Structure 1
Amino acid sequence: MDSWTEHVIWWHVYPLGFVGAEPTADAGTPVTHRLDRLHGWLDHVISLGANGLALGPIFASETHGYDTRDYLTLDPRLGDDDDFDALISACRERGIRVLLDGVFNHAGRSFPPVAEAIAAGPGGPAGQWIRWSGEHPYAFEGHEPLVTLDHGNPAVQDMVVEVMNHWLDRGIDGWRLDAAYAVPAEFWAAVLPRVRERHPDAWFVGEMIHGPYDEYVAASTLDSITQYELWKATWSSLRERNLWELDWTVRRNDELLSAFVPMTFVSNHDVTRVAGQIEDHRHRSHAAALLLFLPGVPSIYYGDEFGFDAVKEDRPGGDDAVRPEMPSTPAEVADDDGLRSVYERLIGVRRRHPWLLRAHVEMQDLADERARLRATSADGQSLVLALNLAEEPYPVGDLGEVVETLSPLDGEALPPHSWSIHAG
């Protein structure tokens, strides 16, 4: 029997932004019951064809969720334990899996072991909880509020095992491990087997911005990583109308599949949205076609299905635009580009051809502005995605029955700025 991870398609949400939470919190912040805002969107997840809810940070934190102060308590700006249990129950009723964001590379300065370590200094009894830069706490990537934990400390390992099991016991299905690339692989190799003893079906995906992906997965025992190489190649090749860049990364992704299946995406909470990267609106749906056609575990960032085009800026608050508040229901959101229907149809293709998860893909008839991608299953099934970024029709020939298309073909020619999928 296939694991649930073979069939999950995530809808990714940044909760604090989604519910319109205030930007900062302290230990005395009153509980505000906002998490139920997500309930009005769960049927939307199902209507898209997805079946997973990937949540950004939900634990008590100082500001944006990545400066955790209490790993076992829901952020009071979102609600309390009852709100969390109600969300899990609502997801279970719909068959929706839940992924939580585990920020275990670093913590906020008010996380008690961190606060104690800073107060006592490197030689103090709590000093081994964090990394030090001389006499100063080691700040993650220069961000002073984020103190890097010492992953060689058994107490840190025990804490992470406790936290993971606590929330898995409460009904979640897996963990996205934030900044996994900054954590020694040996730490995960020590922690994850202990968690799997109690939760053998749990899924663990690490945030990896650069490689070598396969080596890190093998050493860490992670199940998957975030495929940033493919993310960059997707929007860049479409924006620049240079599909040669995509070709290199498709071949690289194909090599990785022998070791693991990556999590694929075209936007997330940390980057400019794909619609903001691709200036030509006519090519935005091409990104969706690639996301749902190419191998991997797809993740759709909330709002992409409506064409949100926010840009991340390098300044305080520069992430706010890509982490927007949403209304109570999707009916209140405009869909000017008709992308929601495109996502629904493409996910439908994915559901009817689940073997795409691990398909071998090669690009054919490659030029700057056009290409065919042929996906083949282990038992010989085949689909072809034809892409046309040019002003002229693309004579694709007889590729077989049209499974899905953005624009009807004219004979055997794909119209300008269109795509089509064929049972090849």
Structure 2
Amino acid sequence: MQLSNPKHDKLVVYQIFTRLFGNQNLTNNYYGSLKTNGVGKFNDITAVALQALKDFGISHVWYTGVIEHATMTDYSDFGIKPDNPLIVKGMAGSPYAIKDYYDVDPDLAVDVDKRMDEFEALLIRTHEANLKVIIDFVPNHVARQYSSDAKPAGVRDFGEGDRTDVVFDPQNNFYYLPNEPFHSPEEIISPVDSEHVYNEVPAKATGNDVFNARPSIYDWYETIKLNYGVDYLNGHARYFDPIPATWLQMRDILLYWTQKGVDGFRCDMAEMVPVEFWGWVIPEIQAMNPDIIFIAEIYNPSEYHNYIFKGKFDYLYDKVGLYNYLRPIMEGNGTVEYITRLWQNESGDIAHHMLRFLENHDEQRIASRFFAHDPWVAIPAMTLSATLHTGPMMIYFGQEVGVNPTESEGFQGDDGRTTIFDYWGVPEFQRWVNQGKFDGGKLDENQKKLRQFYHDLNHFAVENEAIRIGDFYDLQYVNIDDQSPEYDKTRTYAYLRYTSNQRFVCVYNFDKIKTISTRVKIPSDVLSNTLKIRDVEPCHLVEVFPGNSLALNLDVAEIENSGIPVSLRPLSVIILEIKN
């Protein structure tokens, strides 16, 4: 089946935490085992589920936690080496402590011996639903007991042949602390008894750049830092000629998954890997599949341009931008003036590369007491995230039904996040799954309305060219400077999205209490030169999102001098289309 070209579309990414998505077990014991709490499988993501996501307006599914990672569940009967629980976080384990880059997580298989077959069948089902597949690529670190039992013939395991008597060698896979044994954090209390003490001599540097044999419990102590030819302890000196062994091994891993039909990679902590590697490897992979996409998790805005233009990433994971500006506004603090600052900093040349979101596996749920307490608070923020620019948008599974974690699942703790370390069922989402019908049959009316909002937003973003490919024009300055009545510069935000065929005025009220009745002005030069609206004809303005209740007929002079009259309830948005 021919799929659309992701480089020219408005991507709508749906992040699935794969082991939780299809789990219908309601037990939810603290630190529960797989047997007790259950786990979702590849096979649970049925053609029915995928069609429901397609109907929801999704273009790309990000299957999180696919590649085999360290776990406290024993699969030794299947030829998989068990992991010492002193270096595993949670009963299920972190999906970012990769144990075998050439295999998939056995938790996700009905028949463990056929786990790769079951994943490949999921790839086929997903493509048959006209959806594209993204998986995680975790390039910066591996599990401390990394050992591939599924690697192709002739492939060298990470660490094989390393010189362990030196801290750094450009051709080593790891960094070593010669003659020092590794010590796991003393505070660890494992829910599983281990018959063996964990021995690692010499100690290897820990994933979050900790060159210490005694990482703390707050470090990524369960992982080992990979060596891309950067000597961290000597001024970050770079040794890229000849090409480091890790570069070549990682290229081969990316090619392996690309050959299987994966359509994109979300690259974990990409900025901890030298940008030179990305600039080399991404063209290598895109030579095999020009349409494949690369998304970088990066938290340093000063490096954004570098990783896009030198590193050749298609998209960047935008947390330290729009997410960090919108969250305090959603919590009742902050100001929409941050948003103007954001687009000005982006200067128009990277906005279309930014992947916008309000939830993901690392962040707290909007509905939780740690964030906004109410999923409906997201209405203006999510609409703005989807429509501010042409870049992709993302929804985390269950966001659309108001998932609200309220207890400690195990290692994750009670922190407002859906666990990534533990076996668990997500009650709100299980109501949508509805025993495999994936029809939301058990959702309450409030959840159905919330999901309908996300459904409508997804479709609006991709079905209207002004949002999908159009230009952006900020209207804050004219409405603040001209003192439009009741235009609160801290809670009201307005901008244009437009093409030669379509013109939208987007207006937001971020206030939690106050209804805002105001007028939104558009400068005369923008009306005539930018929007190509002739002043000899009246303008017909029609509400196109979220409803269709408002219709106005205004002269161009009225729009310029008096403004477009709008009334917005607390936490609401209105998008009007201007027609001659």
After TM superposition, the score normalised by the length of structure 2 is 0.65
Moved more, 385-394 or 168-177: 385-394
- Distance in 2 (alpha carbons) for counterparts of 1:286 and 1:236: 13
User: SS at 2:221's partner residue?
Assistant: coil
SS of 2:283's partner is helix
SS of the residue corresponding to residue 73 of structure 1 reads strand
Larger-Rg structure = 2
Shift of 1:65: 1.4
- Contact kept, 8 Å, 1:12 with 1:53, in 2: the verdict is yes
Over aligned residues, Cα RMSD in angstroms? 3.4
1:423 aligns with 2:423: no
The equivalent of 2:544 in structure 1 is 403
1:414 Cα deviation (Å)? Answer: 2.3
Hey, what does 2:291 align to over in structure 1?
Answer: 201
1:305 is aligned to 400
Map of 1:233 onto structure 2: 325
The answer to whether the Cα contact below 8 Å between 2:380 and 2:573 also exists between their aligned partners in 1 is yes
Task: Provide the residue aligned with 2:224 in structure 1.
Answer: 147
| Partner residue, 1:292 | 386
* Secondary structure at 1:81 match in 2: helix
- The one of 172, 193, 196 equivalent to 1:128 is 172
Deviation at 1:284, TM superposition (A): 2.2
Q: Given residue 135 of structure 2, which amino acid in structure 1 is its aligned partner?
A: L
User: Among residues 449, 474, 477, which one is paired with 1:362 in the alignment?
Assistant: 474
User: For 2:95, what is the secondary structure of its paired residue?
Assistant: coil
Residue type of the alignment partner of 1:149:
L
What is the CA–CA distance in structure 2 between the aligned matches of 1:357 and 1:368, rounded to whole Å?
27
Q: Give secondary structure in 2 for the equivalent of 1:274.
A: coil
Instruction: Give the corresponding residue for 1:344.
Output: 455
CA offsets, 1:370-394, max 9 Å, x none?
22232234x4742122112343432
Q: Are 2:28 and 1:44 aligned?
A: no
Change (3 A) 1:407 1:422: closer
Q: 1:165 to 1:118 in 2, by over 3 A?
A: closer
Instruction: Give the distance between the partners of 1:388 and 1:157, measured in 2 at CA.
Output: 48
2:373 is aligned with 1:279? yes
Unaligned runs of 5+ in 2: 34-38, 71-92, 110-114, 148-156, 181-202, 209-218, 230-242, 431-435, 480-487, 522-540, 552-564
Per the alignment, residue 88 of structure 1 pairs with 123
Deviation, 1:256, is: 3.9
Q: Show the counterpart of 1:248.
A: 341
Residues 122 and 56 (structure 1), Cα distance of their counterparts in 2 relative to 1, 3 Å cut? farther
Report the Cα distance in structure 1 between the residues aligned to 2:103 and 2:442, rounded to whole angstroms. 31
Shift of 1:57: 2.4
Deviations 1:280-313 (A, max 9, x none): 5552222221222122111111111111234899
Q: Match of 2:41?
A: 34
State whether residues 162 and 173 of structure 2, in contact with CA within 8 Å, keep that contact through their aligned partners in structure 1.
Answer: no
Query: Which position in structure 2 is the counterpart of 1:183?
Result: 273
Indicate the residue corresponding to 2:356 in structure 1. 264
Question: Is 2:330–2:372's contact at 8 Å kept on the other side of the alignment?
Answer: yes
Give the corresponding residue for 2:440: 331
Cα–Cα, structure 1 residues 299 and 333, in superposed 2: closer, same or farther, change >3 Å?
farther
The CA distance in 1 between the partners of 2:355 and 2:101, in whole Å, is 24
CA deviation digits over 1:264-285, x for unaligned, max 9? Answer: 1111001112333223555222
Report the AA paired with residue 496 of structure 2. R
Q: Which amino acid in structure 2 is aligned with residue 404 of structure 1? A: F
CA 1:224–1:311 in structure 2 vs 1: closer, same or farther (change >3 Å)?
farther
Question: Which residue of structure 2 aligns with residue 138 of structure 1?
Answer: 205
Higher-helix-fraction structure = 1
Q: Give yes or no for the alignment of 1:76 onto 2:106.
A: yes
Q: Which residue of 1 aligns with 2:504?
A: 383
In 2: Cα distance, 1:130 partner to 1:230 partner: 35
Partner of 1:240, secondary structure, is: coil
Contact 1:273 1:311 in 2 (8 A): no
Would you say the 8 A contact 2:21–2:40 is kept in 1? no
Find out whether 1:65 has 2:160 as its counterpart: no
Distance 1:255 1:384, change over 3 A: same
Deviation at 1:126, TM superposition (A): 11
> What is the DSSP-based 3-state SS (H/G/I as helix, E as strand, rest coil) of the residue aligned with 1:255?
coil
Instruction: Tell me the amino acid that sits aligned with residue 18 of structure 1.
Output: F
- Structure 1 residue 333, shift from structure 2 partner: 5.3
**Cα distance in 1 for residues equivalent to 2:277 and 2:32:** 31
Distance 1:123 1:395 in 2: 65
State the AA in 2 paired with 1:290.
Answer: L
Deviation at 1:41, TM superposition (A): 2.3
Q: Which moved more, 1:392-401 or 1:204-213?
A: 392-401
Report what 1:321 is aligned to.
418
d(CA) in 1 for partners of 2:360 and 2:66? 16
- Give the aligned residue type for 1:144: Y
Show CA shifts across 1:143-191 (max 9, x none).
1211111112632112211111111111111111101011110111121
SS class of match (1:64)? coil
CA distance in 1, matches of 2:246, 2:459: 43
Would you say 1:5 and 2:127 are equivalent positions? no
The structural deviation recorded for 1:355 is 4.3
Contact 1:109 1:115 (C-alpha < 8 Å) held by counterparts: no
Residues 169, 312 of structure 1: CA spacing in aligned structure 2 closer, same or farther, 3 A cutoff? Answer: farther
TM-score, normalised with respect to structure 1: 0.87
Aligned residue for 2:212?
A: none
Q: Distance between the aligned counterparts of 1:280 and 1:371, measured in 2?
A: 21
